[in-house]
Amino acid sequence: MNTYDLSGKTALITGASRGIGASAARAFATQGANVVLMARGRDEIAALAGEIGAQALAVPVDVTRYWEVEAAIGAAIDAFGRVDILVNNAGAIEPIAGMEEVDPAGWGQVIDINLKGVFHGMRAALPAMLAQGSGTILTISSGAAHNPQEHWSAYCASKAGAAMLTRSLHLEHGAAGIRAMGLSPGTVATQMQKEIKASGVNPISQLEWTDHIPPEWPAVALSWMCTGDADEFLGEEVSLRLPEIRARLGLSA
């Protein structure tokens, strides 16, 4: 797997308590970045910050609450002086249910996390990034943003909306030095895939665990997307399912 130099950068990562978020935090820190770990799992991000060391700051955050995200941006600036990277990774898929029976409150909570949470991150990070004239905002997307899956209406709708937020951000602020991109990683061996497997609904739940890529692969992709080598994808989405992208990043089965 390729590595990239992120020395001197400060990266904020939502959903950093496990899965892709935790792997990205470890990768970014190894590559020289300061990392701000944001998640509801207070104990988990505290343990990860202890593992990483002085480069890491753990800030408990519920991304559905804008003021908490805004406060995390302030904490990052207080600790490290700037904000260079935001990874909008926090996500939820349950409830997995048909539209005729799904709990409306649960459906809305997925929208709050996957869509409003992404907007909250963008909105909170933009003033500092625009003031310094640069910043990278990456959002974890999904094939479900473009292709509906049975019983995933909230997840599909929220990911489609987040993909459009990325395009909107590029349109509005790309010329001001804000690098906005999405990463569609494919299926990743995380807790979410366990929830999908348990549902038994749609073809994705029928995949074997060995069909999923490790979370370290998206972490490599996110690291690369923070560099100028990925500028051809600004405003767009990088698909980690593509063999040519995997080869470019030194990833292989």
In the prediction, which pLDDT does 207 show?
65
**SS3 of 25, please?**
helix
DSSP state at residue 168:
H
What pLDDT, on a 0 to 100 scale, did the predictor assign at position 253?
A: 57
Is 4 noted as a catalytic residue in this protein?
Answer: no
The CATH number that domain 10-105+114-183+220-236 falls under is 3.40.50.720
| Structure-token pair, residue 36 | 């701000």
Q: How far apart are CA 75 and CA 63, in angstroms?
A: 15
Half-sphere exposure (CA, 13 Å, Cβ side) for 134? Answer: 8
In this predicted structure, what is the pLDDT of residue 198?
Answer: 84
Structure tokens at 16: 């950093």
- 94's enclosing H/E stretch is none
Helices (H) and strands (E) in the chain, counts: 9, 7
Which of 119, 155, 217, 224 is the catalytic position? 155
DSSP 8-state code for residue 26: H
Q: Provide CB contacts within 8 A for 91, sequence distance 6+.
A: 15, 113, 114, 140, 192
- Nearest Cα neighbor of 13 from 30, 1, 27, 32 is 27
CA distance 125 to 15: 16
The tokens 């993909």 sit on which residue?
163
pTM flag (> 0.75): yes
Per-residue pLDDT of the chain (253 residues; tens, 9 = 90+): 899 999 999 999 999 999 999 999 999 999 999 999 999 999 999 999 999 999 999 999 999 999 999 999 999 999 999 999 999 999 999 999 999 999 999 999 999 999 999 999 999 999 999 999 999 999 999 998 999 999 999 999 999 999 999 999 999 999 999 999 999 998 776 777 778 778 878 777 776 667 677 889 999 999 999 999 999 999 999 999 999 999 999 997 5
Bond prior to 95 in cis (omega within 30° of 0): yes
| Strand order across the beta sheet in which 34-39 lies | 56-60, 34-39, 10-14, 85-88, 135-140, 178-184, 237-239
Give kind and range of the element (H or E) at residue 178.
Answer: strand 178-184
pLDDT of res. 31: 97
What pLDDT is attached to residue 188? 73
Task: Give the Cβ contact number of residue 7 at 10 Å.
Answer: 9
Give the DSSP per-residue string, 182-198: EEE--SBSSHHHHHHHH
Which residues, in sequence order, are CB contacts of 203 under 8 Å at separation 6+?
none
Q: What is the pLDDT of residue 43?
A: 96
